[in-house]
Amino acid sequence: MALEREIAAFEKRRTDLEQTYPQKFVVFHDDDFVGAWDTLDAAAGEAIMRFGAGPYLIRQVGAPRPSLPASVLFRPLMVA
């Protein structure tokens, strides 16, 4: 799975990040926490400059789950 290492590293540090960097945009590359920024643009700019097209994780700490547009309909998998 893409970003598996980065997401695992984020989850490992989630509690610490939520206390230290609430609502900030953090970047993870491989297993490493790269840093935290105020805006997505700043975090992305730094990530691109260092790691090009990736892979890297950029996530806002404590952000709510995104809501999908009604236009994007899908059916949940049914269990037989």
Partner 1 sequence: MPITNCGFPPMSVIGAPPNIQITSGAQHLVFKGPTTQVEIGFDATMFQNQAGSQLLTPAQSGSGPSASPPVVVAQPKVKVVEALIDTGASESCIDEVLAQELGLPMIDQANGSGIGGTASFNVYLGHIRIVGLNAVQFGRFMGVKLTDGGQPHCALIGRSMMQNMILVYDGRTGSVSLAI
Task: Please report, as ranges, the residues that interact with partner 1 according to CB under 8 A.
Answer: 1-3, 7, 20-21, 24, 32-42, 44-59, 65-76
CB of 25 to partner 1, least distance (A): 9
CB 69 within 8 A of CB 78: no
CB of 15 to partner 1, least distance (A): 16
Measured at the CA of 36, the angle between CA 32 and CA 41, to 5 degrees, comes to 115
DSSP state of 21: S
What is the 3 state secondary structure string of 22-40?
A: CCCEEEEECCEEEEEECCH
Residue number with CB closer to partner 1 (78 or 80): 78
Residue number with CB closer to partner 1 (72 or 80): 72
Residue number with CB closer to partner 1 (35 or 80): 35
